[in-house]
Structure 1
Amino acid sequence: MKLKYFTELDGVRAIAALMVMVFHFFNDIQTTSPILILIKKITGIGQSGVSLFFVLSGFLITRILINSKNSDHFFLNFYIRRALRIFPLYYLFLVIFYFLLPLINDTTIAPFGQQIYFWVYLQNFAITFNWNWNGPQHFWSLGIEEHFYFIWPLLIFYLDKERIKIAIFVIILLAFLVRLLMVINNVETFYFTFTRMDELAIGALLAIWEFNGKLESYKPINFIKWAFLLLIPTFGLWFFTSGKALDVVQIVKYVLMAFCYFCFIGFAITIKENHFLKKFLRNKFFSFTGRISYGLYVYHPLCFLLVNKHLQLNSIILSFIVSFVFCFLVSSASFYLFESKFLGFKNKLQKT
């Protein structure tokens, strides 16, 4: 079966990347200005762009896995394609971060004992449990994705569709229980694989709907209705409790936000071709941004830091523009001069 390519999902990926970038830009600003404080609070929702990434990734990867389930070399092809997409840029940035930047800044290279967690994708464990680590903190989400996709193909391969649905709901329940246990013991839930895996599983549920034919008959308006019902408690929790680290919020916010994005993605792919949202998500800017979104996510904290350190612009608006333009330039160069070489191998493998 040839999978339909949803061009609009490039736009969704772009929105997720831009949300995270906007959040990090304003979150790092120290200010007493009431206007900027309000802007920081509003842009705080951008932090959930990672949740959008997770749900989207869960949907896209799961539909690929289900579609290729009966193909030859199922596991080998999946893991090689995954490695070609993720590893080159991931490890290139670690080399830049650990060895090139200290050379440029004339600083000490971090001890390997502090680096090791990032080289083996255990950075989010190190951050959660306060191990002695040093590295790009925003890589925590990449660790979660790799952990999930190390196990998920096994479940897809050995379970039928009904049992996969059961596995999805078990994962959602387990994530809830792990968050509850960690909150009770005053352990941070934000970075840990087993407290965020339900977001990827929720995206996978949308792929199950697609293969069961449910999306074809599901009315897009129903996604709007469910999203509206979910957004009331979700945005209520975010707006009134943001920054307070309330226990109940840490337990329920991820699953609520994930189902909101489940509805958003479901709506985007089921609406008619001439719908304004589909056209909006398919415009050239979003398509391009979605294409380089991995680089945008990887490079943006470093780009923001370099602009802030070396240009010292006095205008926040100017700093915002320069920072984002610089990040787009770096990510574009990375994509076309480096990542695309490996993507070419990945695409050839997919056709074999």
Structure 2
Amino acid sequence: MKLTYYKNLDGVRAIAALMVMVFHFFQGIEPSTKVLSYMAKAAIFGQTGVTLFFVLSGFLITRILMATKETKGYFKNFYARRTLRIFPLYYLFLLLYYFVAPLILQTKGTDFSQQIYYYTYLQNFAITFDWNAVGPTHFWSLAVEEHFYLFWPLVVFFVSKKNLWKIIAGIVIMAFLLRLFMLDLGYGVFYFTFTRFDALAIGALLALIEERYGFRETHAKKYTVLAVGLFLPTTIMWTIFSGSGNDTIQVIKFLFLATIYFSFIGLLLSLKSDHITNKVLKGKFFAYTGKISYGLYVYHPLAYSICDRFFRFEHLGIDFLTKVALAYSISAISFHFFESKFLKMKKYFNYQKQRDSTQLAYQK
């Protein structure tokens, strides 16, 4: 299976990061006018950028695993490359969060017993079950993805493609039933690994579709119909039924959102490369934003806090642009002077077969 490099998906990664950044910006805003109130409500949809990340990751990782499962050093190379991409920035930020940020922002330090869950990627378990943990709460999604990366290579390696469809279906059903069960017990389901795994599994389904059918322009209509058909009921659930006292709706909502983003990605890959949408996504802004999107996701809450502490502006637009500019600056510096040093080390863990095609795979 030769992997095609989809440049437009860098733009999708950029959109996901920007959605989350907009969501977190408006979380700190107290609407003073009707217009701001409407903007704040619309910004809530930004948190679904995490679901978009999940679906995209499930697709990209699965297609890489399927293409390289017959290569020598399959497990070693995969885990080494994941480690080089994820761990350096992850643990650097934890050090900044726990030991540098308190000095800059003049906040109280955190006991090691409260930090340990973040060092071990158990923060989303801690949040779900109310363990005594303190850390960057947006890191919950990184824990979900890391847990997926740990076990999914094993599944792809030992399970045939025919049965992989069944495994994906099983994960989707399991996550749905587990959300019902946990909500009945009084636990939240937003952050927990096994109640959010269905989004990654649905993304993996795209990789199987690509391998069997490919992405063709004739498929675009099907993805469009599916996305449009789910958009209205999902919007109604989100705006009317979701919220405090209505957490049960999350049982269905997460599944619908993941399927919508599944359709969105499938649609983009089915459209011609020179379609206006893909041209925009492959443009310099979205391409570069996608390139540093991991840093944007990691750093932006800290950048927002620094702006609030030292130079917050009363004008909403200027305040937003200032915070986003600082987040971009930090992320760009981090990528070029820190992360890239580790990314270059991936060359020592290239797959021996299909080497050229795997090098074209996304540097996630």
Residue identity matched to 1:197: F
Q: Percent identity?
A: 49
Post-superposition CA distance 1:256-278 (Å, at most 9, x none): 00000000000111111221111
Task: Summarize the alignment of residues 107-122 of structure 1 with structure 2, pairs less than 5 Å apart.
Answer: 107-122=107-122
Partner deviation per Cα, 1:171-206 (whole Å, 9 max, x = no partner): 000000110011111211100001100000000000
Matched residue, 1:6: 6
Q: Distance in 1 between matches of 2:129 and 2:244?
A: 21
Contact 1:183 1:250 in 2 (8 A): no
Q: CA deviation at 1:327?
A: 0.6
Residues 33 and 161 from structure 1, CA distance in 2 versus in 1: closer, same or farther, beyond 3 angstroms? same
Select between 163-172 and 108-117 the one with higher mean Cα deviation: 108-117
- SS of corresponding position for 1:219: helix
Tell me the SS of whatever aligns to 1:215.
Answer: coil
1:182 aligns with 2:182: yes
User: Within 2, Cα distance between the matches of 1:240 and 1:291?
Assistant: 36
Q: Is the deviation greater in 272-281 or in 4-13?
A: 272-281
Q: Structure 1 residues 245, 212: closer, same or farther in 2, change over 3 A?
A: farther
Q: Does 1:141 align with 2:141?
A: yes
For residue 342 of structure 1, what is the aligned residue in structure 2? 342
1:220–1:270: 8 Å Cα contact kept in structure 2?
yes
Match status 1:16 vs 2:55? no
> 2:46 maps to what in 1?
46
| Residue of structure 1 equivalent to 2:246 | 246
For the structure 1 residues 71 and 28, does the alpha-carbon distance in structure 2 shift closer, same or farther, using more than 3 Å as the test? same
Question: What is the aligned partner in structure 2 of residue 287 from structure 1?
Answer: 287
Matched, 1:90 2:94: no
For residue 350 of structure 2, give the secondary structure of its aligned residue in structure 1: helix
SS in 1 for 2:109: coil
Summarize deviations over 1:77-123 as a string: whole Å, max 9, x none.
Answer: 10000000000000000000111122334544311110000000000
Q: How does 1:114-263 map to 2 (within 5 A)?
A: 114-216=114-216, 219-263=219-263
Answer whether contact 2:72 2:351 (CA < 8 A) is retained: no
Matches within 5 A, 1:55-70: 55-70=55-70
Further displaced range: 155-164 or 311-320 = 311-320
The offset of 1:350, in angstroms, is: 2.3
User: How many angstroms apart in 2 are the aligned matches of 1:211 and 1:95?
Assistant: 41
Question: How far apart are residue 318 of structure 1 and its match?
Answer: 0.7
Residue type of the partner of 2:334?
S
**Higher relative contact order (Cα pairs below 8 Å, separated by 6+ residues):** 2
Provide Cα deviations, 1:201-221, integer angstroms capped at 9, x if missing partner: 000000001111253485211
Rounded to whole Å, the distance in 1 between the matches of 2:58 and 2:218 is: 20
State how far apart, in whole Å, the 1-side matches of 2:75 and 2:24 are.
Answer: 36
Aligned to 2:311: 311
User: Which runs of 5 or more residues in structure 2 are unaligned?
Assistant: 353-364
1:103 match: secondary structure: helix
What is the deviation of 1:159?
0.4
Letter in 2 for 1:160: S
Q: 1:18 corresponds to which letter in structure 2?
A: L
- Quote the Cα distance in structure 2 between the aligned partners of 1:66 and 1:32: 52
**Contact 1:84/1:345 (8 A) holds in 2:** yes
Tell me if the contact between 1:313 and 1:319 (Cα under 8 Å) persists in the aligned partners. Answer: yes
Distance in 1, Cα, partners of 2:109 & 2:323? 26
Q: Secondary structure at the match of 1:145?
A: helix
Preserved contact between residue 210 and residue 216 of structure 1 (Cα < 8 Å): no
- Judge conservation of contact 1:168–1:202 (CA < 8 Å) in 2: yes
Displacement of 1:27:
1.6
CA RMSD of aligned residues (A): 1.4
Deviation at 1:245? 4.4
**Structure 1 residues 55 and 245, CA, compared in 2 at 3 Å: closer, same or farther?**
farther
Contact 1:75 1:153 (C-alpha < 8 Å) held by counterparts: yes
> Cα 1:17–1:347, aligned 2, differ >3 Å: closer, same or farther?
farther
Q: Secondary structure at the match of 2:29?
A: coil
Per the alignment, residue 264 of structure 1 pairs with 264
Contact 1:168/1:205 (CA < 8 Å) preserved in 2? yes
Q: Distance in 2 between matches of 1:132 and 1:351?
A: 42
Native 8 Å contact 1:304 1:323 kept in 2:
yes
Aligned pair in 2 of structure 1 residues 24, 107: CA closer, same or farther (>3 Å)? Answer: closer
* Alignment partners' CA distance in 2, 1:132 and 1:286: 39
Deviates further, 311-320 or 46-55? 311-320
Q: 50-59 vs 184-193, which deviates more?
A: 184-193
1:28 matched to which residue of 2?
A: 28
